[in-house]
Structure 1
Amino acid sequence: MLGGQFLTGYLMYLGASPSQIGLVLAIPTLANVLQIPFASFSHKLHRKWGFVTLASLHRICWSATGLIPFLFPKEQWIAVYLPLYAVAFVANATSAMMWTSLVGDMVLPQVRARYMGFRNMVLNALGSLTLFAGGQILDRYPGGQGYHILFAIIGVLAVLNIIMFTTYPNLPLEQSTQQGLKSMLTQPLKDRSFMKASLFLSLWLLLQGIVVPLYSYIMLNYLGLSQGKVSAMTILQTLAMVVSFYVWGQWNTRFSNKTLLFWTLPVITASCLSWGLLSLLPTIPVLVLVHLLIGFGIGGFNQLVFNFTIGDTPKSERPMFIAVYSALTGIAGFIGPIVGGWIFERLEGSPYWMQAYGVALGTGITLLALTVTLARKALR
């Protein structure tokens, strides 16, 4: 209820421009850059309680954005939202690194692929119900009232979420063999296979970020869909992700992380290219295809990247490997939505097809070229 199309819709309610929406969508990935200095410092922290503290700060700050319309005049809403959201996702980026390291130790390697697939499947199945409920609330109570109801629910669940974090096991962290930030940083930088894959995936995420995070914006602003219909599309995407977690998890028991990562790329590309079918077919069937493809592709991509960063990296140096990957992809992920928001802002007054599907189609063609040229070499 805080992310996806709900985030886009809430920002539009607060009066954000396309560029400001792109900036907000990009902040979480840029915050990942802070994982590099934090990775060397994290070895000195109590891993469990460091994670609990930072994850709690993320939940509290993001939930608190729902109070903005009550506490500030309308002209200040976006100005207040941006720093509060930024603090939330700086805390999230640093806590995510500790969570990844902790879960990597909690789950045995021989069952990790299937476990993460099952975990993500259950998580997103429940998420589909949440998306449906949130969409129904916003359709029944349009405008500010609907978001006030959502944030009231979110506030309660954020507290319960924090309480659950305290039940995590307190596993010891295997200390790095290196001393100091510089020597720790050299370990992933000297790993050619890791760096080649990470740099390519960063380029991919930059290009993908131009349009994929803005799917909801296109549907709400240019195609004129209601929040309920956008929620339905997001539910389809989530259901496709549920299936993908199981399928990619099963395939992951037979094929390597990088091999399967390569095969997620054509699926994501096909989703972007499918927007071009709006010139030939009715809107809803095309959007169903778009979201089924992106759900199956992104679900596999995210799961395999997680397995790649915790399964293909040395355990003692894992926090820094995770940090380097997150920093590289974070910079790329920051640039993509910013460029996308800038492009859509410049397209105001342009032909309808350019706004509705031109950017997505162009991005898909670019991703296709990248898939058939650099992808196989980078992920071999």
Structure 2
Amino acid sequence: MHRPHRVVSSQRKHLLTATWEGVPAVIYQTLLGGPFLTGYLLYLGAESREVGFVLAVTTFFNVIQILAAYLIQRLQYRKKSMIVFTILNRLMWGATGVIPFVFEEKWWIPTFLVMYMGAFITGTVSGILWTSIISDMVPAKIRGRYFGIRNTILNALGALVLFVGGVILDRYPGGMGFLILFIIAWIAIAANLTLFFFYPDPPFERSKERRFWPMVRKPLSDQPFIKSTLFLGAWLFLQTLVVPLYSYAMLDVLHISYSVMSIMTVVQTAIMMVGFYVWGNLNARFSNRTLLYWTLPLIAMSCMSWGLISILPIIPVLVLSHILLGAGVGGFNQLAFNFMIGDTPKGERPMFIAMYSAITGLASFLGPLIGGQVFKWMEDTPSWIQQYGFQTIVGVIMLLTAFTLGRKVLQAA
């Protein structure tokens, strides 16, 4: 019997496009960011302070989103602008891979910093445009579940890419290994940019405000939103004092190999995959703020668990730390994103997103910057302080903050 072909709705096609677009995005982001970014910076000759600055500076540029949120109100087509800024972001970030072949060694780090900052200035603009479009593409009733499934799929791929990247760097140490990673990343960037052309350009519901300051005051006057955002900013400051520098501590302090470090990150990603699905389903029953609160103790205990290095072998402790981090950070990031696009008025959403990104971005900028400086100061301290002391102290502070201020702000909101 002949069966008619199933008609795929345009909405379903758009959601599939957004999922497929994430595949090459995860490949190039994994190979150019995270632990491989730290390794590449060390290869270029960076010190801990410079590593901390690079890990932090991308979030600092989120402040630009406030101006971008105001300017996009005047755009007729968000999609075209998103594609232009995305191309600029990808090209500048990918071009950092040719630095050792084009410049003298003394210029490697300064050139990287200029290109990297340029990439993420354009990335902040493309990011707010993408968030604005995707929030209109995904219906509110399936938002938690859709992003849970999407994040699970993409993080499974990310885990595989992490493992393969670690094997490549161990087999081809130094410049050759990083060249191979960048070649793969360049191919993924080309595929990623192509898929953006298949995105829709849904109608844009604009703010009722036309002037800059009244538009900025909208999120500032929303008490539940601004209180939650300020707390999350303070939390991210504490978190980013140590978590972004996990890779640095493993590579440069504990002298863990790239393969072992990649396995740790794969463990973290595997737990995040399960967490995305679980948190996404829980989001159908509980509010974003309530679930955000539940993620905080997990992240704090990830930092605290480094203290177990004093009595247990290093590898099992790092596995435990990354398990806790995967469960906590995966849920935190997904729920914070849903909080931005789901708990905010549609017409004012770009400015709400920008305000959240600016406040949390500034906090996330200062955290790794100060954390990198602290690691520099600790070079002459006893080895136990460098290996686990700082992480453990910050973890204790985070846990106390979660059970006091976190409970008051997020549970009451």
**TM range, smaller chain:** over 0.9
Describe how 1:156-195 pairs up with structure 2 within 5 A. Answer: 156-195=187-226
Equivalent position of 1:8 in the other structure? 38
Equivalent position of 1:350 in the other structure? 381
- Alignment pair present for 1:263 and 2:267: no
Kindly tell me the number of residue pairs found equivalent between the two proteins: 380
Describe how 1:298-337 pairs up with structure 2 within 5 A. Answer: 298-337=329-368
Equivalent position of 2:316 in the other structure? 285
In terms of mean alpha carbon deviation, does 367-376 or 17-26 score higher?
Answer: 367-376
Equivalent position of 1:28 in the other structure? 58
TM-score (norm 2): 0.91
Equivalent position of 1:238 in the other structure? 269
Kindly state the Cα deviation for residue 368 of structure 1 after the two structures are TM-superposed. Answer: 1.1
Q: Could you say what secondary structure the match of 2:285 adopts?
A: coil
Equivalent position of 1:102 in the other structure? 133
Amino acid at match of 2:53: L
Equivalent position of 2:12 in the other structure? none
Kindly state the Cα deviation for residue 377 of structure 1 after the two structures are TM-superposed. Answer: 1.4
- Taking the aligned partners of 1:235 and 1:7, their CA distance within structure 2 comes to 16
Equivalent position of 2:70 in the other structure? 40
Equivalent position of 1:19 in the other structure? 49
- Taking the aligned partners of 2:112 and 2:292, their CA distance within structure 1 comes to 35
Q: Deviations over 1:138-191 (max 9, x none)?
A: 000001110011111111111111011111011111111111111111110100
Match of 1:372 among 403, 407, 411: 403
- Taking the aligned partners of 2:155 and 2:124, their CA distance within structure 1 comes to 21
Structure 1 runs not aligned, ≥5 long: none
Equivalent position of 1:81 in the other structure? 112
Q: Could you say what secondary structure the match of 1:315 adopts?
A: coil
Identity among equivalent positions (%) equals: 53
TM-score (norm 1): 0.99
Amino acid at match of 2:50: Q
Match of 1:134 among 161, 165, 187: 165
- Taking the aligned partners of 1:259 and 1:366, their CA distance within structure 2 comes to 21
Match of 1:338 among 362, 369, 372: 369
- Taking the aligned partners of 2:251 and 2:271, their CA distance within structure 1 comes to 21
Q: Which runs of 4+ in 1 moved over 2 A?
A: none
In terms of mean alpha carbon deviation, does 177-186 or 9-18 score higher?
Answer: 177-186
Kindly state the Cα deviation for residue 349 of structure 1 after the two structures are TM-superposed. Answer: 2.1
- Taking the aligned partners of 1:211 and 1:202, their CA distance within structure 2 comes to 15
Q: Could you say what secondary structure the match of 1:147 adopts?
A: helix
- Taking the aligned partners of 1:303 and 1:372, their CA distance within structure 2 comes to 21
Amino acid at match of 1:95: S
Match of 2:328 among 297, 301, 305: 297
Equivalent position of 2:179 in the other structure? 148
Structure 2 runs not aligned, ≥5 long: 1-30
Describe how 1:29-68 pairs up with structure 2 within 5 A. Answer: 29-45=59-75, 46-68=77-99
Kindly state the Cα deviation for residue 59 of structure 1 after the two structures are TM-superposed. Answer: 1.1
Q: Deviations over 1:297-321 (max 9, x none)?
A: 0000000001101110000000000
Kindly state the Cα deviation for residue 378 of structure 1 after the two structures are TM-superposed. Answer: 1.3
- Taking the aligned partners of 2:306 and 2:84, their CA distance within structure 1 comes to 42
Equivalent position of 1:220 in the other structure? 251
Amino acid at match of 1:107: V
- Taking the aligned partners of 1:22 and 1:87, their CA distance within structure 2 comes to 18
- Alignment pair present for 1:252 and 2:289: no
- Taking the aligned partners of 1:296 and 1:3, their CA distance within structure 2 comes to 20
Measured on the aligned residues, the alpha-carbon RMSD in Å equals 0.7
Equivalent position of 2:14 in the other structure? none
- Taking the aligned partners of 1:237 and 1:60, their CA distance within structure 2 comes to 29
- Taking the aligned partners of 1:276 and 1:19, their CA distance within structure 2 comes to 23
Q: Deviations over 1:82-127 (max 9, x none)?
A: 0100011111111111111111110111111100000000010011
